[in-house]
Amino acid sequence: MNERRIATFEVTPNIAVVKYWGKRNEEKILPTNASISMTLDSLKTRTTVMFDSKLKEDELWLNGKKVDLEKNAEAKERLKQLDVIRKKAGINHRARIVSINGFPTAAGFASSASGLAALACAASKAAGLKLSTQELSILARLGSGSASRSVMGGFVEWTKGEKPDGSDSHAVQVASPQHWPEIRLVSAVLTEEKKKVSSRAGMRQTVATSALYRSRQEHHLPRVLEEMRRAIRERDFEKFAELTMRESNSLHAVMLDTWPPIKYMNDKSHEVVAAVHALNEAAGRTVAAYTFDAGPNAHIYTLVENAPKVMVMLKKIRGVKKTVISKPGVGPRELTDSSAHLIDPRNGKVRKHCFDEKKNEITVTVK
Ligand code: PMV
């Protein structure tokens, strides 16, 4: 008889206010600096993992489509945490992984953080492991650096760590999701295009060629990290906002200083930057802060009372395709109800599933 073990988790992304950009170890994904982010309450990824003694190879289904792992080296590489999990659990079974984003695909929202953190949670649970949040963070990190921060809710720091094995480079909570309930993140989609330079290739190039990057590491980041932790603990929005904007600008400056230069922000992104500064000027204080990752889409931190102002500002910018408002999220959630699994636990088959945009929910057909 074949043996099957299954688990399903929902995990949300995070948006960094102090960014990770540069590895000191490419294989273990160890960063050259610590980073800090807020875990969101929206944009969920649901992932079901089933270890099955009958499977010959690991199998991955993303948003309803099977991924050809032989032809997609990057996807295969990102699954390397599965081997670590099998070794820890003492099992040999291959896994079927089914994952869907609870938001429109190609909407310009990065799903690697939530996707790889969901994989760490679901695969380790299905393998029968009981891991600490730190251990889950280390597993998620192997797939994508920023995923290491999505295993916790609230404000999260991914520590740089010193050890060569990476055992001290993981998530720690700076503040709980309840600590700053008024904070909001307004994400504005400016493009649905896939980025031309992957963050993996981009940061490698920056570390190798940018002199400004060295100054960022030595002078800018140590101060920003310390002040950011304090601004979050003291719920000092003006300080938090200024640090967030300056930090995003520092990141995109080192990208431009890379040789050959890398440019992720576009003219629309710079229009948002100017509009946020104009909004703050008109308010006479800092009410909104932009931040940009490895892409042109804008993420704007604000407080709940100022969110309508930010929305009005974005409405005036032509080319904003979609906006999503998030609050601090609580982190990964296991779905134990059998009908929530994306795989039928009785026969191991992938269940019909989709994201219903009208209802704004993931629907699974249970026969
Ligand atoms: O998630 P990764 O490993 O592809 O790196 C993404 C890095 C940034 O999003 C640009 C910054 C960050 O800290 O999230």
Q: How remote is the CA of residue 147 from the centroid of ligand 1, in Å? A: 8
**What's the rounded Cα separation, in Å, for the pair 95 and 220?**
43
**pLDDT per position as a tens digit, 267-284:** 999 999 999 999 999 999
**Going by CA atoms, what residue is nearest to atom 4 of ligand 1?**
199
pLDDT band per the 50, 70, 90 thresholds, residue 1: low
Cβ neighbors of 234 (< 8 A, separation 6 or more) are: none
Q: What is the mean pLDDT of the segment spanning 314-335? A: 95
Q: How remote is the CA of residue 346 from the centroid of ligand 1, in Å? A: 38
Cβ neighbors of 216 (< 8 A, separation 6 or more) are: 250, 251, 254
Contact between 268 and 317 (Cβ < 8 Å): yes
Report pTM. 0.97
Q: What is the mean pLDDT of the segment spanning 336-360? A: 94
**pLDDT per position as a tens digit, 215-233:** 999 999 999 999 999 999 9
**Cα 191 to chain center, whole Å?**
18
20 lines ligand 1 (CB under 6 A): yes
Task: Show the tokens assigned to 51.
Answer: 């270890």
**pLDDT per position as a tens digit, 10-21:** 999 999 999 999
The kind and range of the H/E element at 211 are helix 211-215
Helix 133-143 with 81-89: angle, nearest 10 deg: 140
Residue 106, pLDDT score = 54
Q: How remote is the CA of residue 196 from the centroid of ligand 1, in Å? A: 15
144 lines ligand 1 (CB under 6 A): yes
Residue 144, pLDDT score = 93
The kind and range of the H/E element at 51 are strand 45-52
In terms of Cα–Cα distance, which of 310, 84, 23, 362 is closest to 183? 310
Residue 23, pLDDT score = 97
Residue 278, pLDDT score = 98
CA-based torsion, 258, 263, 264, 269: positive or negative: positive
Contact between 149 and 158 (Cβ < 8 Å): yes
DSSP-assigned letters across all residues of 236-255: -HHHHHHHHHHHHHHHHHHH
pLDDT of 195 above 90: no
